[in-house]
């Protein structure tokens, strides 16, 4: 499932049927390459709540089912090392340093939270660089990812495998 498809979905308490908020983000473990929690908005004038991925009862196209309102934890309970709340916008580079583009989206396994694909885009300059427009997008399997960190480092074969070399 694509990450952007989850944003905005309602989190529903399956015990009581109450809406508990809506998904506003993800907490990702960079080392495990996995979503470890969802950040759920608390509604007007209340803080966000953190829903550990393993506390999700069901994750579908329409809603996120939560066992109960007690399924949430404090953000600090996850720890801080190796966690991020954002992959989109990070640079995608090959092992030899070629910049391929920026992450626009990613997919994950709805059972485990493991990241399965990364979608990155190549911006195109228009009118001699006066502005950029969204160019081509490429989706690669997580198996091509060598490093998931401040930048995403991928195998040198990605440009050839995706057909980027032919498009250039």
Q: Domains, the chain, ranges and CATH?
A: 3-84 (2.30.30.240), 91-167 (2.30.30.240)
Ordered DSSP codes for 17-50: --EEEEEEEEEEETTTTEEEEEEE---TTS--EE
Q: What is the pTM of this model?
A: 0.86
pLDDT higher than threshold 70 for residue 45: no
Q: How confident is the model at residue 128 (pLDDT cuts 50, 70, 90)?
A: low
Q: Which pLDDT value is given to residue 30?
A: 94
> Worst-scoring range by mean pLDDT, 66-70, 108-112, 122-126, 155-159?
122-126
Query: Band of the pLDDT at 82, cuts 50, 70, 90?
Result: confident
> Above 80 in pLDDT, residue 91?
yes
Q: In the prediction, which pLDDT does 133 show?
A: 59
Burial of 168 by CB count in 10 Å (0-12 exposed, 13-18 middle, 19+ buried)? exposed
């Amino acid at each position: 499932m694509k990450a952007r498809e989850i944003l905005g979905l309602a989190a529903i308490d399956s015990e009581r049927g109450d809406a508990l908020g809506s998904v506003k983000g993800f907490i990702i473990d960079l080392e495990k390459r996995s979503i470890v929690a969802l950040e759920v908005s608390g509604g007007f004038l209340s803080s966000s709540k953190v829903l550990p991925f393993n506390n999700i009862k069901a994750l579908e196209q329409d809603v996120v089912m939560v066992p109960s309102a007690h399924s949430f934890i404090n953000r600090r309970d996850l720890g801080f090392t190796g966690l991020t709340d954002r992959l989109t916008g990070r640079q995608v580079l090959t092992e030899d340093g070629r910049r391929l583009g920026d992450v626009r989206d990613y997919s994950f396994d709805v059972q485990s939270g493991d990241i399965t694909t990364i979608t990155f885009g190549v911006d195109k300059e228009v009118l001699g660089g006066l502005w950029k427009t969204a160019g081509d997008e490429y989706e690669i399997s997580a198996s091509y990812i060598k490093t998931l960190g401040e930048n995403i480092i991928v195998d040198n074969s990605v440009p050839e495998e995706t057909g980027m070399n032919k498009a250039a």
